[in-house]
Every structure is written in C-alpha cells, then in structure tokens.
Amino acid sequence: MTLRPYALAALLVLALGTGCTIDLQHDLTEQDANEIYVLLSKHGISATKLKEEGGNELRFRMQVPKADAAQAAELLRDYSLPRPKEKGLSHFAKGGMVPTATEERAMLLKALGGEVSNALNQVDGVLEARVIVMIPENNDLTQPENKPMPSSSVFIKYRPGPKNEPPIKREDIQLFVSTAVPELKPSAVTVLLTPATTPDTEGIRDDQLKELMGIRMTASSLGQFRMMAAVAVLLVLASLGLAAWPLIRGGAGASAARARSK
C-alpha cells in the first residue's frame, strides 16, 4: 500500500507532536482532571485532557509538553492535586476472606476516618485532610463512670486566605468530626492546621508568557512550538513538491513527444 504525500506528511506531523508530550497524571476522576486542567492553564501550560479506555469507571489522563513537565509536576505538588481520597466504607467491600474481629475493628476505625477526611477535602481551600479516629474497646465489666471515651486527630493542610486565615475554623472542624463519630466530644478532637507554602505567583506573570500568532504560552513551550511549526511547513512543502512532480514530469514528457513528432 502506497501512502499519498499528504497522508505521509500528516502522519509525520502527528508522530512529531505525540513525541513532544508526556503523561502527567492518569486514572483521574473528571473533577480531578478538570481542576488540574484549570490550574495548568492559569500558569500558561498547555494541558490536554484525554479519556482513558477500558475499565468500568470513567477515568482521564492529562498530557503536557515535555518542556513544561517539571513545572507542571511542581504545581500539582504545591496545590495537592489530585486531591487525596480515602477508601472510607469501601474497606468493607466483600473479599475472599472473612476478617477477624481485630481486623474488622481496624477497618471500621479507618473507614470512619476516611469518610470524614473525604468530606473535609471537599471544602474550598482545603488542600489535604487526614482524620484518625480512636474508639476504645469496652467490655461488660467496664464501669459507666470509667468508660473510656473516643478521640480523634485531624490534620488540615490549607491554602491561606487574603488575611492568611484558614478556610474553616478550628471549632467548626471539631464540631463536624464529633457529630460523625458516636459519643465523640468536640473537646476530644485535636486539630492541626498547617498553611501550605504559598507559590511564587497565583498565576504566571504576563512577562513570563510569550505570544506567537495570537497564542500565549510559556517560553519553553514557544521554542517547541516553533520547531514543530517549522517541521510541519517543511513537510507540507515537501508533500506539495512530491504531488506536483508527476505533473511536471508528465508535462515535460508530453512536450518532448510533440517536439519529436514534428
């Protein structure tokens, strides 16, 4: 099978473009993929959201130019993306073996902490939330007045507000966690609030962006784009030359035949 010149040029351009990108993240939910896309776009990085094939759940992957991969990975680290997600109650999904009483209790505590962590991670401004729940074991001989009470520890990493304030108050966190765990008092919830390191800029500065043919991009992407554009133009010119060559050759042959007939 012989490829037409135009098809050959298109395949070469596609191969060149594919080789200049790299997978940044995969197995993403649509919400995580959208948040990553918006963040990278704000910083002048051209990201591509692609649907992953196979699997029972809808998943996505993100591609970025190789030249911007390091900056993109650093941005995801600074903004804790994709957001951490605990299994929660899925710890109790049916498996092949029956858990022991100790294992079942450990799964229950981890599931409670995971569900609360997932809820706190949905708060705008919270980058990462971890919750540890401790419910002491009781037996029939335990006196009611000596009954050990549950406790909890909460770690919150957040993006500071305009006045460096956290997105959620400590008292609100204690109240929220205490209502999710039976017999847990707000005073027994220990909260550690840690501000994230503020990136150099919320978005990339205008003087760090370059413009080419109305398209704004980072300096590293600009050089790569120019190279791809130059190669694409050369390939198109070459394909046009290959397409025109039979016509030119045929015209020259016809002229020579007419000259010989005279």
Determine the Cα–Cα distance for residues 133 and 253; give it in Å rounded to an integer: 88
Determine the Cα–Cα distance for residues 121 and 198; give it in Å rounded to an integer: 19
For the chain, give the mean pLDDT.
78
- Which parts of the chain register pLDDT below 50? 1-3, 201-207
Nearest alpha carbon to residue 66 among 231, 224, 232: 224
pTM for the predicted model, two decimal places: 0.61
pLDDT of 126-177, one tens digit each? 999 999 999 988 766 666 677 889 999 999 999 998 899 999 999 999 999 9
> Residue 56: its pLDDT value, please?
80
DSSP codes of every residue in 93-110: S--SSPPPHHHHHHHHHH
Determine the Cα–Cα distance for residues 233 and 229; give it in Å rounded to an integer: 6
- The answer to whether 42 touches 16, Cβ cutoff 8 Å, is no
Check residue 165 and give left, alpha or beta (phi > 0: left; psi -120 to 50: alpha).
Answer: beta
> Residue 88: its pLDDT value, please?
63
Determine the Cα–Cα distance for residues 209 and 216; give it in Å rounded to an integer: 6
Determine the Cα–Cα distance for residues 262 and 256; give it in Å rounded to an integer: 10
- The answer to whether 173 touches 120, Cβ cutoff 8 Å, is yes
Angle at 114 between CA 109 and CA 119, to 5 degrees: 135
Report residue 149 as tokens.
Answer: 């009470």
